[in-house]
Structure 1
Amino acid sequence: MPDIMGEYVDRLVTVEMRNRGMNHGIVRQIYDEARQEGGGRPITARAAEALFEKVGPGDVVFFVTGAGYAPFAPNGESDGPPGCAALARALYWGLKAVPVYITEECHAPPMVASSKGACIMIRDFELAQGRRMGASHLIAPTDKHQTQSWAQQIVAQYRPKAVISIERLGPNEDGIVHGSTGVPKDGVDLAHVVLEATRQGVLTIGVGDNGNEIGFGRIFDFMKDFHPYGRETQYPGGKGVITTVKTDVFLPASISNWGAYGIAAMLAFLCKQLDVFHTSEMERDILKNCLDAGGWEMRYCSNRFIVDGAAGEASMAVVQLLREMLKLNIAAPDRGLSHGKMKGAA
């Protein structure tokens, strides 16, 4: 049954909505490659099942996010933090896990605001874990040379059962992080958190939408040849935007937030609890909070109600459709009054 629902959840979160000036006409092919590479089953189902198996009450789950930098988007963008907040909410209520967000300082305000929109308050870790009072938040060092040792330290200290990266950019084969159209980006390399978790045997999940996000390393060779900026950048001598960083489960989506929503819906399905998944009204609150806190839409770097060029109402509609799919799939079988008895019914 998870594969039946997962099939259509995957389809929904990979419906491409992009302006033709951006990388377009690519989501279906990328998804097909990732699904085949991962064994052929629906990817949202695989991700949710892995979390359901590995994570229990009181267990820590890291969420890594944050894309966009000054001067254009000094606090990042509206894709990433909302997805983290929604999936953190599902893990908090569904599995009684302790979400711990990991961001750079500049990306902290949208993450905090998004989590507040999801009604998952951010507290000191001792309260979050010891008293189940919401999520916690770790801020990465600003010195790029300290990031690797810091990642090793926090994985050892917090002992996460899973690390989930949503719309977090990873380095290419030269160690350079890029935007999806070949522009190099500043900031520290939080891929070290995922790499350290992998070394420690911790479950890792990546969600991305354009080739430069953590997780795409699973289909690196395909992306190098397929992606419009797989082998070039907007400066001379660049080798392309595709990250080398892999995760255990990798989900490409039309918008990274949508991929996170798909995993959250499948997790709610496994828990058989509708309210583990957020509502379209809460989605509006999450997005508005993110935008108002500086996590802007990235086409024109404004606080318009937009994510990756698609109206916020589109994200609300995706959430509503996922919630309806979830409600129907966890309901008891019922033909109503006009369709006669079900096969095998007494």
Structure 2
Amino acid sequence: MPDIIGEYVDRLITVEMRNRGMNHNIIAPIYNEARREGGGRPITARAAEALVDRVGEGDVVLIVTGAGYWPEVPHGESDGPPGAVSLARALYWGLKAVPVYVSEVCHAPPIKASSEAAGIMIRDYELATGRRMGAAQVTAPEEQGDIDQWAKDLLERTQPKAIIAIERLGPNENGIVHYSTGVAPKNCVNLGPLFDQAAERGVLSIGIGDNGNEIGFGRIHSFMQDFHPYGRETQTDKPGGAITVTATDIFLPASISNWGAYGISAMLGFLLKDKELVQDPETEKRIIRACLDAGGWEMRYCTSRFIVDGAEGESSMAIVQLLRDMVRLNIAPPDRGLSHGKMKEAAQ
């Protein structure tokens, strides 16, 4: 049964939603390759099952996000924080885990605002972990030379059972972080070492992305090198393409990264028999609006319009409604209603 609903959750979150001025008609081929490389099963089902298997009450899950930089979007974009918050809700209420958001300093305000709009308050780390009173938030150093030691200290302190990247830019083969347009932002740090060290410790990792440069795409790096217009060279004078080499145990591509997170939340709702693990449309509206108001702007035109990755905010509201209803229908007791009669019993 998880593969049946997972099939259609995966289809829903990979509906192509992209202006033809961007690299277009890409999500189906990327998804097909990621699914093939991962063994063939629906990816949201695999991700949710892995979380249920590995994460228990009081366990820490690191949720890493953040894309977009000064001067265009100085606090990042509206794709990433809402998805991180959706997963935090599902993990907090469904598995009784402790979500810990991880980002750069510039991305912290939209994450905090989004989380609090969803009812997951940001608390002191000791209060969050000791009494499970919300989520905690951690920011990375602003100097690349400090990242390795910071990552080691963070993993040692939190002892996470899982780490999830959503719309978190990762490094290419030469350690350079790029936008999907082949431009390298100047005001960022590479958080790939956090995932490399987590892998060495055997921590479950899940990556969610939509265009090749996000952590997780390292699983299909060679495919993306040939498929993506900036797969092998970029708009910079530096060697290498825009595709990240940082892989995760499970990789989920989605039309919009937030939607990939919503799909995993839906599958957690199905496995745990609770449709409320997917936010309702009004909560989704509050989350996106809070993200935008806190500076996590839509990336296409770098404004606070009610848009995520070019798609109207109402489209994200519709996606969560469809996912909630898919969960509701699939966890409800079998019921043919009054007009369809009894199902014929199978022959013995």
Partner deviation per Cα, 1:126-154 (whole Å, 9 max, x = no partner): 11122121100011111110011100111
Partner deviation per Cα, 1:51-73 (whole Å, 9 max, x = no partner): 00000000000000000010110
Q: Aligned letter for 1:292?
A: D
Task: Determine helix, strand or coil for the equivalent of 2:287.
Answer: helix
**d(CA) in 2 for partners of 1:110, 1:238:** 33
Q: Bigger CA drift: 34-43 or 130-139?
A: 130-139
Q: Aligned letter for 2:176?
A: I
Q: Is the 8 A contact 2:276 2:324 kept in 1?
A: no
**d(CA) in 2 for partners of 1:62, 1:343:** 49
Task: Determine helix, strand or coil for the equivalent of 1:283.
Answer: helix
Residue aligning to 2:212: 211
How many Å apart are 1:194 and its aligned residue?
Answer: 1.1
**d(CA) in 2 for partners of 1:223, 1:190:** 21
| Regions of 4+ moved over 6 Å | none
Residue aligning to 2:274: 273
Residue aligning to 2:332: 331
**1:102-113 superposed matches below 5 A:** 102-113=102-113
**1:152-191 superposed matches below 5 A:** 152-186=152-186, 187-191=188-192
Residue aligning to 2:298: 297
Partner deviation per Cα, 1:168-226 (whole Å, 9 max, x = no partner): 00000011000001000231111211111111000000000000000000001100001
Q: Aligned letter for 2:339?
A: S
Task: Determine helix, strand or coil for the equivalent of 1:137.
Answer: strand
Residue aligning to 2:315: 314
TM-score (norm 1): 0.98
**d(CA) in 2 for partners of 1:267, 1:344:** 32
**1:1-346 superposed matches below 5 A:** 1-186=1-186, 187-344=188-345
Q: Is the 8 A contact 2:176 2:190 kept in 1?
A: no
Corresponding residue pairs, total: 345
**d(CA) in 2 for partners of 1:281, 1:288:** 11
Q: Identity over the aligned pairs, expressed in percent?
A: 68
Task: Determine helix, strand or coil for the equivalent of 1:79.
Answer: coil
How many Å apart are 1:90 and its aligned residue?
Answer: 0.4
**d(CA) in 1 for partners of 2:164, 2:344:** 42
* Structure 1 unaligned residues grouped into runs of 5+: none
Q: Aligned letter for 1:133?
A: M
How many Å apart are 1:237 and its aligned residue?
Answer: 4.6
**d(CA) in 2 for partners of 1:123, 1:129:** 9
Partner deviation per Cα, 1:6-42 (whole Å, 9 max, x = no partner): 0000000000111111111110000000000000000
Q: Is the 8 A contact 2:208 2:251 kept in 1?
A: yes
Task: Determine helix, strand or coil for the equivalent of 1:318.
Answer: helix
TM-score (norm 2): 0.98
**d(CA) in 1 for partners of 2:266, 2:331:** 11
**d(CA) in 1 for partners of 2:280, 2:302:** 27
